Amino acid sequence: MNLILLFFFLSLISQVPSEPILTVNPKTLSKSGDSVHIQWSGIESPSKLDWLGLYSPPDSPHHNFIGYKFLSSSSSTWESGAGSISLPLTFLRSNYTFRIFRWTESEVNPEIHDQDHNPLPGTKHLLAESETVGFELGRGPEQIHLALTGREGEMRVMFVAEDPEERQVRYGEKEGEWEGDVAVARVGRYEREDMCHAPANESVGWRDPGWIFDAVMSGLKGGVKYYYQVGSESKGWSTTRSFVSWDKSSNETIAFLFGDMGTATPYLTFSRTQDESISTIKWILRNLEALGDKPTFISHIGDISYARGYSWLWDEFFNLIEPVASKVPYHVCIGNHEYDWPSQPWKPDWANSIYGTDGGGECGVPYSLRFNMPGNSSEPTGTHAPATRNLYYSFDMGPVHFVYMSTETNFLQGSSQYDFLKHDLESVDRMKTPFVVVQGHRPMYTTSFESRDAPLREKMLEHLEPLFVNNNVNLALWGHVHRYERFCPLKNFTCGSMGQKGKDWEALPVHVVIGMAGQDWQPTWEPRPDHPHDPVYPQPKRSLYRTGEFGYTRLIATKEKLTLSFVGNHDGEVHDMVEILASGQVLNGGDDNNGKVGAVHKVDDVTRCSFSHYVWGGSVLVLGGFVGYVLGFVSHARRQIATERGWTSLKTEER
């Protein structure tokens, strides 16, 4: 009888469903970018909508996830109820935990969606939760990035740590031999209360930003390679990094310039992220390694991280750029996605349709504290938040004078920014720096269908173009439009003569839109005025080359000539190029270029030889693609939204 009862009891036990198991390994990571292996089993009747959520801090409410992955797109064995995935994690000053949820089709609510109009997954049915994953102590600060101060013999370094205890930078000409060269870093931070709007000031978007440290290495010799570490004896030092100091006497300038790059994440989240940013940084890193000990810098002209109020995306961004930004100065100017919010202080009537909610409530605060550019420009926010900084400034690098401006704050005549630009451009010593390059976010010229920004472009043409023309600005570089487009030497929509065929040439600015570094929401080109709804987009004569390809630009200048090249991400090759002499004459790409308007210019042998140490060829980078939703209803929803808004794979509103 007892034996029968035993078998009956065991039979009942075997029929009880097993609890899902979720495990993580290792439980301690050494640095940002290290991967955790996540494994699950025991999921009954697995569904394509079962999903894995990432949480930091571990006690975050279910709906306040950092990101998520669908199990069906993460593991080939998901239908068995078991699977695994490896995810690289970024240190957010707290531990992580992972949770698996069941989400059913009947629970899908299209009204609750991310910025890409995908319904956000539901958290009603928790299936499993993992143990916590943390990071080693004493490993030193992260998010290291350099910047010029504008003063000879100096280099700024900024980084992030989890507490305000004193940190330093130690540096010297020999690795590991610091020779007493140590600088104590200033420390600061911003709080949730400093944010101006949702989601930045809500629990769903806010995470501890850490403590931001800012130190200046001084007494540097020009054009010398220096090694450095940041940190402290008690909290640990970073790995050794190096840079080549600014050489004021150099007759050569090398720079990598782009806009609108953003960052990539190994998970889906509330805000659309930019996969192509990985490729942009990888190509630039290869270029830097090939350059060796030549000083150079990077220029990122607005729409920096696309965090838009989800603060951990700033951490992901700095983790992405650290390999290059810890080697060379990383310079920025402000864009709409760092700043714009409904109650921003400068919002004239003509700009009501322009300055909206693109900043996600950050109102320039993370941008202002995470970077420290030369100069002291600032504008009050009109709230208790810190003033917005890094708006306009300039510096010399070799034979080029670089000017940065803000298109998000007042630039009209009578403003402090206009006065700065006027004085700066009129004061340039063209014997010392024969070339002048101005950079800002929103373009003065574009042939994209950017009707919403038309009033701003009119103001730029009225107030800024005369400054540029009268002071012989050579290049005007802009972002905001997520494409590459180069114009002829231009004034009031009219191409100037390049001096070919016996004509007199005019020294007019060459405008180039370079917002193609990562963001993939692209506007259509401007249609024909008399056929606005037909998908025909003629290229105006003033637009010499335009493309939707991702990439970056490379600037090389000597005292005699400046060359700007567009490098495509898919092959690392030069796809367009313009050359400008110190006199201001544009050598190629003008309106009288033998009728070959918009032709792709083959890189000449001289340029190729002088830059032979660059990566000219190479296979296409194989990047891990971010998968979208796996069910047909999501694809249908996207197509439906696209149809309603009048766009297919292009987007007209997001810039």
**What one-character-per-residue DSSP string does 434-465 give?**
-EEEEEESS-S---B--GGGHHHHHHHHHHTH
- Compare 449 and 359 and report the one with higher pLDDT: 359
Residue 382: predicted pLDDT: 85
- Candidate from 51-60, 271-280, 324-333, 645-654 with smallest mean pLDDT: 645-654
CA atoms within a 13 Å half-sphere pointing along the CA-CB vector of 484:
27
| pLDDT at 77 exceeding the cut of 90 | yes
Count of Cβ atoms closer than 10 Å to residue 366 Cβ = 24
- Check whether residue 73 and residue 180 sit in a common domain: no
pLDDT band at 489 (very low <50, low <70, confident <90, very high): very high
- Segment 431-435 shows an average pLDDT of 97
The residue among 126, 500, 142 whose CA lies nearest residue 325 is 142
Contacts of residue 340, Cβ cutoff 8 Å, sequence gap at least 6? 355, 356, 357, 358, 359, 408
pLDDT band at 14 (very low <50, low <70, confident <90, very high): very low
596 occurs within a structural domain: no
| pLDDT at 370 exceeding the cut of 80 | yes
- Check whether residue 277 and residue 216 sit in a common domain: yes
Chain centroid to CA 151: 26
- Segment 386-401 shows an average pLDDT of 97
Residue 396: predicted pLDDT: 96
- Check whether residue 81 and residue 181 sit in a common domain: no
| Average pLDDT across the chain, whole number | 87
- Do the beta carbons of residue 523 and residue 651 sit within 8 Å? yes
Show which of 95, 116, 135 is a domain's final residue. 135
- Do the beta carbons of residue 650 and residue 523 sit within 8 Å? yes
| pLDDT at 194 exceeding the cut of 60 | yes
DSSP letter at 29 equals E
pLDDT band at 506 (very low <50, low <70, confident <90, very high): confident
pLDDT band at 384 (very low <50, low <70, confident <90, very high): confident
| pLDDT at 2 exceeding the cut of 50 | yes
- Check whether residue 150 and residue 273 sit in a common domain: yes
Rounded to whole angstroms, the Cα distance separating 451 from 655 reads 12
The SS3 assignment for 87 reads strand
Residue 6: predicted pLDDT: 53
Rounded to whole angstroms, the Cα distance separating 275 from 268 reads 11
- Compare 80 and 537 and report the one with higher pLDDT: 80
Rounded to whole angstroms, the Cα distance separating 146 from 541 reads 40
Residue 526: predicted pLDDT: 74
Interhelix angle 276-291/312-325, rounded to 10 degrees, is 20
Token pair, residue 480, equals 């905001």
Q: Residue 535 maps to which CATH number?
A: 3.60.21.10
Token pair, residue 634, equals 């999501």
| pLDDT at 527 exceeding the cut of 90 | no
Q: What is the largest CA-CA distance in the chain?
A: 114
- Segment 153-163 shows an average pLDDT of 97
- Candidate from 211-220, 337-346, 474-483 with smallest mean pLDDT: 337-346
Rounded to whole angstroms, the Cα distance separating 322 from 312 reads 15
- Check whether residue 65 and residue 155 sit in a common domain: no
587 occurs within a structural domain: no
592 occurs within a structural domain: no
- Segment 520-547 shows an average pLDDT of 79
DSSP letter at 124 equals S
Residue 536: predicted pLDDT: 65
Residue 606: predicted pLDDT: 30
623 occurs within a structural domain: no
- Helix, strand, coil share of the chain (percent; to 5): 20, 30, 55
- Check whether residue 248 and residue 344 sit in a common domain: yes
pLDDT digits (tens, 9 = 90+) for 475-485: 999 999 999 99
| pLDDT at 570 exceeding the cut of 70 | yes
Residue 569: predicted pLDDT: 96
Contacts of residue 458, Cβ cutoff 8 Å, sequence gap at least 6? none
| Phi-psi region at 280: left, alpha or beta (left = phi > 0; alpha = psi -120 to 50) | alpha
Report the run of H or E that residue 336 belongs to, with start and end: helix 336-339
pLDDT band at 176 (very low <50, low <70, confident <90, very high): confident
- Candidate from 144-158, 433-447, 584-598 with smallest mean pLDDT: 584-598
Show which of 581, 613, 645 is a domain's final residue. 581
pLDDT band at 433 (very low <50, low <70, confident <90, very high): very high
Question: Side chain identity at 290, as an amino acid letter?
Answer: A
Highest mean pLDDT among 175-179, 371-375, 592-596: 371-375
For 495, phi then psi, to 5°, come to: -75, 135
Token pair, residue 580, equals 């400008």
Residue 500: predicted pLDDT: 66
| pLDDT at 302 exceeding the cut of 80 | yes
Q: Residue 73 maps to which CATH number?
A: 2.60.40.2840
- Check whether residue 353 and residue 242 sit in a common domain: yes
What are the start-end ranges of the H helices in 47-201? 71-74
Find tokens 């999903």 and name the residue: 51
347 occurs within a structural domain: yes
pLDDT band at 35 (very low <50, low <70, confident <90, very high): very high
Residue 193: predicted pLDDT: 95
- Check whether residue 50 and residue 187 sit in a common domain: no
Burial letters 577-600, b for 16+ CB under 10 A, else e: bbbbbbebbbbbbbbbbeeebeee
Rounded to whole angstroms, the Cα distance separating 418 from 416 reads 6
Percent of the chain whose pLDDT exceeds 90? 76
Contacts of residue 529, Cβ cutoff 8 Å, sequence gap at least 6? none
- Segment 502-506 shows an average pLDDT of 74
367 occurs within a structural domain: yes
Q: How many structural domains is the chain composed of? A: 2
The residue among 179, 167, 161, 282 whose CA lies nearest residue 226 is 179
- Candidate from 237-246, 319-328, 508-517, 643-652 with smallest mean pLDDT: 643-652
Token pair, residue 327, equals 């080697």
- Do the beta carbons of residue 336 and residue 654 sit within 8 Å? no
Residue 449: predicted pLDDT: 82
Show which of 566, 581, 596 is a domain's final residue. 581
- Do the beta carbons of residue 144 and residue 185 sit within 8 Å? no
Residue 623: predicted pLDDT: 33
149 occurs within a structural domain: yes
Rounded to whole angstroms, the Cα distance separating 124 from 122 reads 6
- Check whether residue 360 and residue 476 sit in a common domain: yes
Residue 111: predicted pLDDT: 87
What is the DSSP annotation of 511-576? EEEE--SS----PPBP-BTTBTTSS-----TTEEEEE---EEEEEEE-SSEEEEEEEETTT--EEE
- Candidate from 170-179, 353-362, 535-544 with smallest mean pLDDT: 535-544
Handedness of CA 572, 33, 120, 84 (dihedral sign): positive
Residue 626: predicted pLDDT: 34
Token pair, residue 326, equals 């810890």
Residue 515: predicted pLDDT: 97
Residue 521: predicted pLDDT: 80
| pLDDT at 422 exceeding the cut of 50 | yes
Token pair, residue 34, equals 């290290």
Residue 467: predicted pLDDT: 98
| pLDDT at 595 exceeding the cut of 60 | no
* Burial of 349 from C-beta contacts in 10 A (0-12 / 13-18 / 19+): exposed
654 occurs within a structural domain: no
- Segment 541-565 shows an average pLDDT of 96
Rounded to whole angstroms, the Cα distance separating 574 from 617 reads 10
Residue 488: predicted pLDDT: 95
- Check whether residue 59 and residue 160 sit in a common domain: no
- Check whether residue 559 and residue 515 sit in a common domain: yes
- Segment 48-56 shows an average pLDDT of 97
pLDDT digits (tens, 9 = 90+) for 88-125: 999 999 999 999 999 999 999 888 888 788 899 999 99
| pLDDT at 347 exceeding the cut of 80 | yes
Residue 601: predicted pLDDT: 38
Q: Which domain holds residue 62?
A: 21-135
Chain centroid to CA 208: 20
- Check whether residue 317 and residue 184 sit in a common domain: yes
Q: What separation in angstroms does the CA of 101 have from each of 81, 128, 233, 258?
A: 13, 7, 43, 40
